[in-house]
Amino acid sequence: MSVDATEETFRFQAEVAQLLDLMTHSLYSNKEIFLRELISNASDAIDRLRFERFSRPELAEEADSDEKLRIRVAFDPEARTITVSDNGIGMSREEVIGNIGTIAKSGTGEFLKKLSGDQRGDAALIGQFGVGFYSAFVVAERVVLTTRRAGAPPSEGVRWSSDGKGEYTLETVHGDTRGTAIVLHLREGEDDLLNGYRLRSVIQKYSDHISLPIVMASEASADGEAADAEGTTQKTAEETAEETAEETTVNRGSALWTRPKSELTEADYHGFYKHVSHDFSDPLAYLHAKVEGRYEYTLLLFVPSRAPYDLWAQQPRQGVKLHVQRVFILEDSGQVLPHYLRFVRGVIDSGDLPLNVSREMMQGSRAVDHIRGSAVKKVLKLLKDMAENDAEKYAAFWKQFGAVLKEGVAEDYGNREEIAGLLRFTSTYSPTQEPDVSLDDYAGRMKDGQDKIYYLLAPTLSAASTSPHLEAFRKKGIEVLLLGEVVDNWVVTGLLQEFKGTRLQSVAQGVPDFGDLEDAAEKEESERAAADFAELLGRLKETLNGKAWDVRVTSRLTTSPACIVANEAETDFSLAQRLRGSGLPNQPVLEVNPRHPLVERLRREQDEARLADWAHILFNQAALTLGARLDDPADFVGRLNGLLVTLTGDTGSTDGTDGTDGTGDTDGTDGSPGHGDPGAEPR
């Protein structure tokens, strides 16, 4: 290629510079993966070329009759370079600027924040993020990429060059051939890579499953024999015939998912997973199914062992690649697998779709509907089998993806029951906060006479597990599911009001209903307490007018004086709270425990102002136990301090019995307690 005089210098996007720096340090112990990454990109580039040829026939004209789409790996011991080239789609100048030297992935900022500087942890994270092209700098001190876009004239070749230190140069060059060549000028001390045997074995280890041929120049037969003696590569007769005298295909080169399961080892599947997912770790589970009948398709789907970095990003990448007759067509963006299975990676290959299928066409396609239905069922079955046969593995899955799977209860009505069976919760029976209870577990150990599945929603699991609402349930030994994730609201309130015929009931909504678990004596006691406390309740209600919709006595508390619950007709308070963003239900009800000494004492409180202080303090305390925010924290503190000073009796001026507030308050303007706090403003 001849060089054009115009050379421009650009700076890397700040994130790229940061990532490059981290990458070169944290990936060093696994430096060979640069080859896997560059081959993977080359393979994607050829896939894209094949796909574009369907919609742009003029690109097809470019192809020679004997054109062989391939990836080539070469090395030059003299120049100390390794070159990875492909005859795929190539890049225009704009594409080079947009793709190389820029990170266009959503969630990059958050991802970078997670990096700690700890080498091992960062290496795993970076692997998950997808190191891609930049991994070349782990072994290279300079990388030169030369490319020409398919369909572009030879005069529009582009050369990108950088030492990875913050800047790169671009120049226009004469590009004789379509595609991309990446030349790595190795760092000092990396000469062990300049070895055909080594490169072949790295390719076979990481890239054997790439469905395109990866070719290398044939070396002295000893080298070739050594590679074959590894026994990892068996070529088809066709492939062997295609090889030139100078070049041999190093990998097997057939689409892995088309091969019979019996031929494939776990290592084959794991290697392929790393290619499709750009993940470093092995998958947690996978399924490989060839379906024949009305529609014919192959599924090779993986459940990763760790959540991808962008799982919660606005537009997370869906990781299933749709193929039609082995040709890559597009990455699923929700047409094939639903959003709640967005963590699944893999390949779906269909023989029933046209090669020029577009996202729009997929929407109305019966074949796609059928494949989707079957793929979802198979993934749910895979998870069910994992849950039944390997609880530890399933717990690991749940930790990473449980919150996403819960979305399925709302998103996938048809599979609601199956998904509900896969959910795991922490309950009052759990020894730790680990979610280890399924709805079936719960249903299986319900008490005689218990007819509901009880749950408590709270902003966090800790708030749920210490909530006063659980007191009576704990005393009666009734299990309660503790729900502390945002998505739990949607799981229980709207969509999963019952599980296999048993109703779900919040323990913080309406009047507690223990069904047959409440005996006659308890009922009688509750009724008597309601009558005995009627006057106090009326006074409290008046005081809390505008704050609490009602005040009533409850049997749900044993040790706490009060709690806040949602009104029967309301949605569960936790949902309301999150919708409003405040912390309390729209029309909360304050429930007081008639057996608590504080409540008992209040019944005798004659001083209306002091009663008002107690009422507000009880209300706000109850709000705090919900993990809610107080609307008026200063008022709460003022009232509380006022009462504390009264209780200590050490006011310096009064003993609290003279009708004043006993706070040492000197202005005496309203005579109400609560103003002894020097910081509190008058109400």
Binding region: 37, 41, 86, 91, 99, 105-107, 128-133, 180, 359
Q: Pick the closest to residue 322 from 342, 350, 303 (CA basis).
A: 350
The DSSP H or E segment spanning 158 is: strand 157-162
Closest separation in Å from C-beta 130 to ligand ATP:
2
The annotated binding site for ATP is made up of 37, 41, 86, 91, 99, 105-107, 128-133, 180, 359
Closest separation in Å from C-beta 471 to ligand ATP:
51
Closest separation in Å from C-beta 11 to ligand ATP:
17
Contact with ligand ATP (CB under 6 A) among 83, 92, 99, 218: 99
Q: Which is nearer to ligand ATP, 62 or 670 (CB)?
A: 62
Closest separation in Å from C-beta 381 to ligand ATP:
29
Work out whether the CA dihedral 479, 495, 485, 124 comes out positive or negative: positive
In DSSP terms, which residues pair with 147 in a beta bridge? 158, 180
Q: Which is nearer to ligand ATP, 45 or 380 (CB)?
A: 45
Q: Pick the closest to residue 54 from 83, 26, 89, 19 (CA basis).
A: 89
Contact with ligand ATP (CB under 6 A) among 45, 618, 626, 645: 45
Under the binding rule (CB under 6 A), the answer on residue 218 touching ligand ATP is no
Under the binding rule (CB under 6 A), the answer on residue 42 touching ligand ATP is yes
The DSSP H or E segment spanning 8 is: strand 3-11
β-pairing, 157-162 vs 167-173, is: antiparallel
Half-sphere exposure (Cβ direction) of 268: Cα atoms closer than 13 Å: 23
Contact with ligand ATP (CB under 6 A) among 127, 130, 164, 656: 130
Q: Which is nearer to ligand ATP, 100 or 216 (CB)?
A: 100
Polymer length of the chain: 683
Count of positions on this chain that bind ligand ATP (CB under 6 A): 16
Work out whether the CA dihedral 339, 341, 345, 347 comes out positive or negative: negative
Task: Give, as ranges, the residues between 78 and 97 that touch ligand ATP (CB under 6 A).
Answer: 86, 88-91
From residue 385, give the alpha-carbon distance in Å to each of 265, 282, 289, 302, 379: 20, 19, 15, 14, 10
Under the binding rule (CB under 6 A), the answer on residue 676 touching ligand ATP is no
Q: Which is nearer to ligand ATP, 45 or 255 (CB)?
A: 45
Residue span 261-290 as binding mask against ligand ATP, x where in contact by CB under 6 A, dash where not: -----------------x------------
**Which residue is listed with tokens 């060549």?**
181
Residues 6+ apart with CB under 8 A from 223: 196, 197, 200
Under the binding rule (CB under 6 A), the answer on residue 133 touching ligand ATP is yes
Contact with ligand ATP (CB under 6 A) among 162, 180, 232, 450: 180
Q: Which is nearer to ligand ATP, 41 or 248 (CB)?
A: 41
Give the separation between CA 256 and CA 254, rounded to whole angstroms: 6
In DSSP terms, which residues pair with 345 in a beta bridge? 302, 319
What phi, psi does 420 have (nearest 5°)?
-55, -40
The DSSP H or E segment spanning 250 is: none
Under the binding rule (CB under 6 A), the answer on residue 382 touching ligand ATP is no
Closest separation in Å from C-beta 107 to ligand ATP:
12
Under the binding rule (CB under 6 A), the answer on residue 41 touching ligand ATP is yes
Give the separation between CA 127 and CA 522, rounded to whole angstroms: 60
Closest separation in Å from C-beta 38 to ligand ATP:
7
Binding region for ligand ATP (CB under 6 A) = 41-42, 45, 86, 88-91, 99-100, 130, 132-134, 180, 278
